[in-house]
Structure 1
Amino acid sequence: MGIAPSEAVVRGSGAERVRASGCRPREGLIAGPVPRSIATTRIMTTNVKSLLLLIAAAYGCAASDPIISWRCRNSNRTIDVPAPLPAVAHTALMAAGVLKGDPLYRYNERDWSWVALENWTFEGTFTLGADDPLLKADSLLTMVGVDTVATVSINGIFAGNTDSAFITWELFVAKAVLNQGVNTISVAFTNARAAGMARASAYPYPVPASIYYHTWSEPGDTWVYNATCETGPCVGGLPFRNFVRKSPTDFGWDWGPSFMPTGITGSVTLRPSKSASEGGPQLRRLSIAQEHQRNGSVVLAVNAHLAPGWSATRLHASRVALRLELCRPDCASAHAAHATHAAHAAARAAVRYQTSLTFASVHARRSVVAESGAVELAEGAEEEEEAAPYLARLLVDAPTLWWPRGYGEQPLYELRASLVPCAAATPVPTMTPVPTAAAAAGDGRGSDAEEASACVPTTAPMSSLRQRVGLRTVELVEEPALPPAEGLPSGTSFYFRVNGVPIFAKGSNLIPLDVFAPRETRERARWLLSLAAAANMNMVRVWGGGRYLPDWFYDVADELGIMIWQEMIFACALYPRDGHFLDLVRKEVTQQVARLAAHPSIVIWGGSNENEYAMQWFNLSRVNRDLYVADYVKLYLDTIRPSVLSSDPEGRPFVDSSPSNGLISSDLDGRSPLVKRWGDAMGDAPDYPQAPSWGDRHYYNYNADCEDPSTYPLARFISEHGFQSFPSFESYAPVTAPEDHSRDSWLLFYRQRHQLGNEQVEKLMSSHFKVEKMMSSHFKVPPANVSTMQPKVFSDYLWLTQLQQGRCYETAFAQWRRQRSMPTNTMGVLYWQLNDIWPGPSWSTIEFDGTPKLSHHGVARAFAPVLVSATEAAGTGMLTVHLTSDLTRDLSDNLDLEIYRWADSPAVVLWRVTHLAVAPALGTQEGYTVNIDDLLAAASGGAGPKLTRNETFVRLSFGGNGTGPIEAFHFWTPMKYATLPKASVVVLSVDVPPPSVGGLNASVRLRAERTAAFVSLASLHVAGAFSDGAFMMLAGSEKTITFTAQKQGSWDDFGVGLRVRSLCDTFD
């Protein structure tokens, strides 16, 4: 049941109080953030009968409402601090001043490791009066986000155990346990490392997992796929993270630290167990299936799930109706319906819910129809978890569909459900439901039967909730690929089709937003996803090594049109398959999928990250493959897959791992067996050349030239790919000391969690940029001018890593987008990774503080709806210009190729080639091909020496059909050889919002006196993002850049804190 509109939640230090303006008896206690089911009445649920989920009780209104106050203490009680929920031990100790400073500062990860190794107890106290309902009935203790292995007791009496951070626990509390006066809830944790190691040691055989470099909590001190610790002799023992159901990244990864936090990241609620059944039926959740009709209408099959204790007989006797209202996206009109339970039939007979409808459509031809549903119950039986649901079918005529970003709008309907008591004289409905076809052709006025059987509410709703709905279809298309691609055997396609339109997925992978879950916020998620949207992304993969995110993250994705590939939380490891572990997984998956299924942004469920491929990593799984294959099948195909499919009313596609070779046959047709296609999912082993022909692919190659398009492999869908870069100096400096500001500092080495990562980054940069002077003059040995030049040179070095990453991404993404129209039919590129969890070396394009790296702007260009690009065919001397488009219509316009000389000021077009070209709808094609030597000869004008590649560059421009030119640049040679002039880019003006008005946007106007390569801006005093970066400016040109602040604040120092930099500035 949701809180009434007049209610509010009041939070104090270490305490939370629920207060209401009405005068109902108080029926429950709550601590922590208001659960989603209370705050917005979207209810977190599960179909697993043995676990009940959060049900908000009716909260009292008296000023004396008790408070649950939480504290956190260590095992020997030398530390005891307030811990208002949500909290982990680290955040409580930081707030109390026990831990000082930023957890990400220098070596605090290592220095604070004692916190992770302690066994913490969270203790909540509350007071009950003599007449409190909690003393008169048994209670249910509902706990969300208990991280992880804990023993729960109330007043010293055992209540239960928890051992998964991903399950909402509900524990029975006998009324005799609670006392008048002060009561105590104790949650005593065992630290995750100790719990995991104990379970790994007790398991009958080793279960390998990846081990991460420079990570203090690992059993070894390096990333070793063939680690000796698989068999036990390694210092620290066996890998253990795969035995604990908490976020794997809490133990560290190859881009982030290990803090292993312990605590309660959600809420704790205590309520009478029979309050729902005694106080009237309560809505628990809605599950909605969409049935899209051939005539364009959509039927919503709505199941309204009720709280425990409400059998069909009881519902019929109560004369309670379900009222449904579907508000259109603009809320200008609404559909309304009532549904009432019919009588309970005999033993083993079907219980049928015939529905009584009252139509209240505002516009003509906006019909709503109900149809009967059925479920079988044994005589007298009642479901433990929730009552059998009401079932109603609503028809939406002429719906407004939800589209991925770039393909249309994202309208969201609102479905409002309420339980209302009907007047005693209301006849029991006997109407026959209107057939779908008839409803589709109707005028929305309703029938006599409908009017006769209408429910007349007698009072306000007894229970209500709301849920947003995005109407759309989604398919994962895996059809025989015709014709087979050159160099590949025949295989199957792999792409998403939404509302019948094939979608080229452009996006990235998301890691957790923070090392501590309680610090993650809706505002941070909106900022990250807004930056993704600004970079022309339409998909984000919520990676299986992180955590399931709160509903607000998916709400933002729904609003922005960002499709979500949601993985279950399993990554880079093999896993046990004992009965207890599988039971935990089954409950976890059922709860999480049921909670998230309402979001239209989620288009696919994934079982794991790289765990199919992981069987190739470890000696143990290679030598004893059958054993670990059996484990894999039991977990992903026999446990996770059916749990996902049974909990998602939409029946979204499911893949057991990414990457994966997929299935040979599926059992979903009811006729074929489930048969998995085994092999090397990454396509790295010569024994499995078929891998690129099926499923998705992860591709990393640090030895190849990332700016050479020919190095990128054929693939159906790239779901991971990336190169590292370092944080900017502005992001890195606040968490470091001056002695850390060197390429060879121990801290930079320590923060590199990818073995040989620094060497790989430097190798790429050295191939394309002038970094030799940096290496020889400022790094390796402390220079004499360390106090003056060192910060500047180190800042340039960090800047160049981001520029190089962006150049790699632009090259790779353009190549894979061009493969869309090749026989491989590549239909997606998701790079690794979108965001950072701390300032350190990683594959991200957005820094931890929310600032886009230079590479993020390269991603935006490479993911533009219409892309113009050029490639050189090795050994032919030919340049080919390509046009690639995600638009659903052809775009015809002039395609220009212009030759410029770096040294000219102002910039002069030395030669231009113009062709009328077409950017094909949802495809790619060659615009034209020209001989490079002929171009340079023509640009030279026939007099004097012939221009060289080092002296010149190419500007490509496609007219854009009136929307402004679509621009790209092509460089003949690595930039280290280009004859770049000493560029000068000046700030002409800075416009900020007036203080009296405020605002988030400012603008900066620039002018280039000489041609400048890869111009960028940095804001030193205002956090935010520039609209472009690493862009070209021709000599004499001007450009206006928009800056968006992360939050409202003063603009006084914005102008003085601007820094402009281009490539030639790094040559000093």
Structure 2
Amino acid sequence: MVIDLQGSWTLLDGDNNKVCNVEIPGDIYTGLIDSGVKEDPYYGNNELDFQDLAKEDWVLQRSFNIEKLEDREVILDINSLDTYCDIYINRELVGKSENMFVPFKKNIKEKLVLGENKIDIKFHSAENRALELEKNHPYKLPYMILPLQSPARNYTRKVQCHSGWDWGPALMVSGIYNSIKINSYNQGVIESWDLDYKLDNSEVNINIIIEYRSLVKGSTSFNLYDGDIKTTYSRDVNVGLNIITINLNKGDVQLWWPNGYGDQPLYCFKLETLDEIKVKRVGFRDLEVISKEDKIGKSLYFRVNGVDIFSKGANWIPVDALPSRQSDDKYYSLIKDARDANMNTLRVWGGGQYEKDIFYDLCDEMGLLIWQDMMFSCSVYPADKEFLSNVESEIRYQIKRLKNHPSIGLWCGNNENVGALTWFEESRKDRDIYIIDYDRLNEGVLGKNIKKIDPNRAWWPSSPCAGEDDYSDCWHDDSRGDMHYWSVWHEGKSFDAYYDVIPRFCSEFGFQSYPSLDVVKSFAPEEELNITSPFMEHHQKNEKGNQIILETMSRYYRIPKDFENFLYVSQVQQSVAIKTAIEYWRSNRPTCMGILYWQLNDLWPVSSWSSIEYGGRWKPLHYQIKKIFEPVHLISYYKKDGSCSFSIVNDRLEDTLGDVKIDFKDFSGNSLWSKEFNITGVAQSVTKILDIDLESFDFNRTDGFFYISGGFEGRLITNTLFITEPKRCRINKCEISTVIEQRENGVSIKLLSNNPAFNVVLSSKDGSRFSDNDFTLLNGEERVIDVDGDIGLDDLNILCLNNSFI
């Protein structure tokens, strides 16, 4: 018997008055919005109207029918309850939940009756419970404070950014997520099953370890399907938990590779008993995390199937602030966008959530390695017995759930909690007690359980850090482990400050931009289309965000002529900032072996560090990422000491040969200086092409720009380099002509410009995806851009740096 309890539930307030219906799986706030009780919190400053809701209790209820009760156990199985809940069957309490990251499973057979039954789930205010826990704690546990947020979030085991973040709203949602059903069992329950394996060339030896809770004593059959091949194993079991081991040898397996290094073959295994069927897909690969002392400090990188991987990717936050809106389509689109931008790594950030199964399944399919944080971020956390016990249940469940995914590369304890030990006055004054608490939680519970459950995968205590038992300052020391480098944003340093560090693995850095005009119009009416309007400022959650964007803009660019161009130039400077860092750090391979920028996605419409806006539109940054993360890329950069450098980076496993031309052109497109080279890009390394001493260069830096182009294996690679701030350059206005032609699956746009046009960005009203964007269009060059959609000239908008100012 399986009873699916998804569908419409009745929502009651704390006084048991009916409010509306809520679709489950989903969250209560979305139910209030869909029923018209509340306005959408993403529009204007409607978020403020949801703050009092965080203090309310709610009840979700529905009925279901039972036709027979013949099995030994009837289990209520709820994947995720957010967060403090009492669960009732026919008005009798059957259990409580205090952690949204741990499923609720309870035998409810004795509470059921034949015919109609009622289930009620009472949700207690997580904010009220957090404040109560904080009040009763013997000393203060500080956390990052934001202008609008729910307090004391570090006491609750729910998504930390539900309380608000510097890119997200404070929406303390509650609800039932993923799945809710009633299962019946007669013989036993598969509590978990793992496939541990060892590779021997193209053969693999697999140990299948099953945790089986038997309801009877005797012989039980386990049917194992390796693809279509079925083998039956019989085992004697006792009542209670049994550990069953099945050995399987499998030959002629193909290895799983990260994106850009090979294919991602996945093998399907199915485990069947009398009561249930479980399915796993497994990719076989040999993965190591190399973190060793060397002459620089301490390395950090992934080695997959014997190949050292240069990690290229981004940080991942939840796909939407409202869980009901976290659709499968959004997951697919975002992960495909990451793969299509030549990424091979994503970091699941520790202030979000252990992601849904679809996320890891898609990463397996698309070859994206996962740096998996545990869900702790930017705080000091409790270390009392109750909290640690709660966390231990969470970690044991989540690691067992995820460990067989080939995409999981590393388990990380938290986000920035080592740094948090020094952020707050309380932890600085009494450092010992906070370090003891940190160690009890991070090593005593997280590290200990992870190493026991998954000993073959690396444990990394925190991000950033330099490894176990090392509390180095990995915000400012680039020599050890992973680094978070935020000086260019939070400290307001210029872009060339990226040249001051060469991280071994940079797992966070970023620069903000405003969203596009279409996204702004989704939350702001015409009268609010101003950078400092109330609605625009409400959708800027970083306190100094506008100030930093505008100060940086005045440092590098001429002030834009109107609101649309303000948004556009902010996105261009974001693209340039991240490009500056990535190209320089890639050129310093193998000292640096990993670059994960902050952040891939948004969870609501907002000014942020993302490369993909809420709704899925690529910012110029994401188009730029696609180019600068190519396995073979031409790199150019200049330093203010007067040096200019050109090189080719090749992440592939074989050399590549090509012809490269470096031009210095004036802003009418005339070549003032040029050199040509026949270059071999050596496999998995950086090959220098040319260094130029600009002090002895014959041309003024404001008179032109470098344009580098090269053909490698039939692919044209180009790059553009200004050697001073663009605002100082004598950039000409330009006229870009367009011709649109129909093709089989969309249209092609032919572009021509009378002068070199810089940072050309095409957009359309329907948010169409373009084959290229944020590029230089030379005069006399016909550039063809493909669009997967049917757009006309009236739908097309073209912006460029040349015409962004008066």
Alignment of 1:921-1000 (within 5 A): 921-932=683-694, 936=698, 947-960=699-712, 962-991=713-742, 993=744
| Aligned amino acid, residue 395 of structure 2 | V
Alignment partner, residue 677 of structure 1: 470
Once residues 503 and 725 of structure 1 are traced to their aligned partners in structure 2, the CA distance between those partners, rounded to angstroms, is 30
Alignment partner, residue 60 of structure 1: none
Aligned counterpart in structure 1 of residue 234 of structure 2, from 340, 351, 370: 340
| Aligned amino acid, residue 918 of structure 1 | T
Aligned counterpart in structure 2 of residue 204 of structure 1, from 138, 157, 160: 138
| Aligned amino acid, residue 480 of structure 2 | W
Alignment partner, residue 21 of structure 2: 82
Contact map agreement 1:143 1:269 (CA 8 A) in 2: yes
Contact map agreement 2:205 2:247 (CA 8 A) in 1: no
Alpha-carbon offset, residue 882 of structure 1: 1.6
Q: Within the alignment, does 1:276 sit opposite 2:186 as a pair? A: yes
Alpha-carbon offset, residue 245 of structure 1: 0.8
Contact map agreement 2:498 2:580 (CA 8 A) in 1: no
Q: Deviations over 1:988-1039 (max 9, x none)?
A: 114255xxxxx5x54322222321111111110x234222211000001111
DSSP-derived class of the 1:661 partner: coil
Q: Within the alignment, does 1:162 sit opposite 2:97 as a pair? A: yes
Q: Within the alignment, does 1:323 sit opposite 2:224 as a pair? A: yes
Aligned counterpart in structure 1 of residue 609 of structure 2, from 843, 847, 852: 843
Q: Within the alignment, does 1:248 sit opposite 2:168 as a pair? A: no
Once residues 186 and 178 of structure 2 are traced to their aligned partners in structure 1, the CA distance between those partners, rounded to angstroms, is 22
Alignment of 1:82-231 (within 5 A): 82-100=21-39, 102-129=40-67, 132-133=68-69, 139-173=74-108, 175=110, 177-213=111-147, 215=148, 217-218=149-150
Alignment partner, residue 255 of structure 2: 401
Q: Deviations over 1:621-678 (max 9, x none)?
A: 1111111111111111010112222333x72111121001212xxxxxxxxxxxx122
Once residues 986 and 585 of structure 1 are traced to their aligned partners in structure 2, the CA distance between those partners, rounded to angstroms, is 60
Alignment partner, residue 556 of structure 2: 768
Alpha-carbon offset, residue 261 of structure 1: 0.5
User: How many aligned residue pairs are there?
Assistant: 804
Alpha-carbon offset, residue 283 of structure 1: 5.0
Aligned counterpart in structure 2 of residue 615 of structure 1, from 421, 428, 431: 421
Once residues 547 and 243 of structure 1 are traced to their aligned partners in structure 2, the CA distance between those partners, rounded to angstroms, is 16
Once residues 333 and 134 of structure 2 are traced to their aligned partners in structure 1, the CA distance between those partners, rounded to angstroms, is 40
Percent identity of the aligned residues?
29
Alignment of 1:317-466 (within 5 A): 318=220, 320-325=221-226, 327=227, 337-341=231-235, 382-384=239-241, 387-397=242-252, 399-419=253-273, 463-466=276-279
Alpha-carbon offset, residue 466 of structure 1: 2.7
Alpha-carbon offset, residue 864 of structure 1: 1.7
Contact map agreement 2:298 2:466 (CA 8 A) in 1: no
DSSP-derived class of the 2:671 partner: coil
Once residues 749 and 462 of structure 1 are traced to their aligned partners in structure 2, the CA distance between those partners, rounded to angstroms, is 55
Q: CA RMSD in A?
A: 2.2
Distance 1:321 1:529, change over 3 A: closer
Alpha-carbon offset, residue 848 of structure 1: 0.3
Q: Deviations over 1:583-623 (max 9, x none)?
A: 11111111111111221111111111001111010111111
Q: Deviations over 1:436-455 (max 9, x none)?
A: xxxxxxxxxxxxxxxxxxxx
Once residues 392 and 324 of structure 1 are traced to their aligned partners in structure 2, the CA distance between those partners, rounded to angstroms, is 13
Q: Deviations over 1:449-478 (max 9, x none)?
A: xxxxxxxxxxxx875433211111111101
Aligned counterpart in structure 2 of residue 291 of structure 1, from 198, 205, 212: 198
Alpha-carbon offset, residue 957 of structure 1: 1.9
Once residues 525 and 543 of structure 1 are traced to their aligned partners in structure 2, the CA distance between those partners, rounded to angstroms, is 16
Once residues 655 and 717 of structure 1 are traced to their aligned partners in structure 2, the CA distance between those partners, rounded to angstroms, is 13
Aligned counterpart in structure 2 of residue 696 of structure 1, from 470, 482, 502: 482
Once residues 322 and 6 of structure 2 are traced to their aligned partners in structure 1, the CA distance between those partners, rounded to angstroms, is 16
Q: Deviations over 1:118-176 (max 9, x none)?
A: 211111212345xx217x8663322221101111122221211111111101123352x
Once residues 75 and 635 of structure 2 are traced to their aligned partners in structure 1, the CA distance between those partners, rounded to angstroms, is 62
Alignment partner, residue 871 of structure 1: 637
Once residues 902 and 103 of structure 1 are traced to their aligned partners in structure 2, the CA distance between those partners, rounded to angstroms, is 47
Q: Deviations over 1:180-212 (max 9, x none)?
A: 443221111111111110111111111111111
Once residues 189 and 77 of structure 2 are traced to their aligned partners in structure 1, the CA distance between those partners, rounded to angstroms, is 17
**What is the TM-score with the length of structure 2 in the denominator?**
0.95
Alpha-carbon offset, residue 511 of structure 1: 0.8
Aligned counterpart in structure 2 of residue 265 of structure 1, from 171, 177, 186: 177
Alpha-carbon offset, residue 770 of structure 1: 0.6
Alpha-carbon offset, residue 755 of structure 1: 1.8
Alignment of 1:596-615 (within 5 A): 596-615=402-421
Long gaps (5+) in structure 2: none
Aligned counterpart in structure 2 of residue 742 of structure 1, from 530, 549, 555: 530
Contact map agreement 1:989 1:1006 (CA 8 A) in 2: no
| Aligned amino acid, residue 416 of structure 1 | K
Q: Deviations over 1:815-844 (max 9, x none)?
A: 1112214xxx11101011110112211111
Alignment of 1:576-975 (within 5 A): 576-648=382-454, 651-663=456-468, 676-683=469-476, 691-701=477-487, 702=489, 703=491, 706-708=494-496, 711-771=499-559, 774=561, 793-821=562-590, 825-875=591-641, 877-903=642-668, 907-932=669-694, 936=698, 947-960=699-712, 962-975=713-726
DSSP-derived class of the 1:537 partner: coil
Contact map agreement 1:250 1:261 (CA 8 A) in 2: yes
Distance 1:180 1:870, change over 3 A: closer
Distance 1:931 1:611, change over 3 A: closer
Distance 1:91 1:992, change over 3 A: farther
Alpha-carbon offset, residue 1054 of structure 1: 5.0
Alignment partner, residue 347 of structure 1: none
Once residues 299 and 313 of structure 2 are traced to their aligned partners in structure 1, the CA distance between those partners, rounded to angstroms, is 19
Q: Deviations over 1:1035-1060 (max 9, x none)?
A: 01111222346xxxxx4x55431111
Distance 1:464 1:139, change over 3 A: closer
Once residues 710 and 181 of structure 1 are traced to their aligned partners in structure 2, the CA distance between those partners, rounded to angstroms, is 68
Contact map agreement 2:370 2:407 (CA 8 A) in 1: yes
Once residues 637 and 74 of structure 2 are traced to their aligned partners in structure 1, the CA distance between those partners, rounded to angstroms, is 69
Between Structure 1 and Structure 2, which shows a larger proportion of strand residues? 2
Contact map agreement 1:850 1:1024 (CA 8 A) in 2: no
DSSP-derived class of the 1:760 partner: helix
Contact map agreement 1:706 1:811 (CA 8 A) in 2: no
Once residues 922 and 28 of structure 1 are traced to their aligned partners in structure 2, the CA distance between those partners, rounded to angstroms, is 53
Q: Within the alignment, does 1:565 sit opposite 2:371 as a pair? A: yes
Distance 1:137 1:400, change over 3 A: closer
Once residues 392 and 344 of structure 2 are traced to their aligned partners in structure 1, the CA distance between those partners, rounded to angstroms, is 30
DSSP-derived class of the 1:264 partner: strand
Bigger Rg over Cα: 1
Once residues 1027 and 140 of structure 1 are traced to their aligned partners in structure 2, the CA distance between those partners, rounded to angstroms, is 51
The 10-residue stretch of structure 1 (75-84 or 528-537) with the greater mean CA deviation from structure 2: 75-84
Once residues 79 and 951 of structure 1 are traced to their aligned partners in structure 2, the CA distance between those partners, rounded to angstroms, is 71
Distance 1:973 1:462, change over 3 A: same
DSSP-derived class of the 1:1027 partner: coil
Distance 1:142 1:283, change over 3 A: closer
Contact map agreement 1:901 1:953 (CA 8 A) in 2: yes
Aligned counterpart in structure 1 of residue 779 of structure 2, from 1035, 1044, 1047: 1035
Long gaps (5+) in structure 1: 1-26, 34-68, 219-238, 328-333, 345-380, 420-460, 486-490, 664-675, 684-690, 775-792, 937-946, 994-998, 1046-1050
**What is the TM-score with the length of structure 1 in the denominator?**
0.73
Alpha-carbon offset, residue 712 of structure 1: 3.8
Contact map agreement 1:276 1:308 (CA 8 A) in 2: no
Contact map agreement 2:209 2:243 (CA 8 A) in 1: no
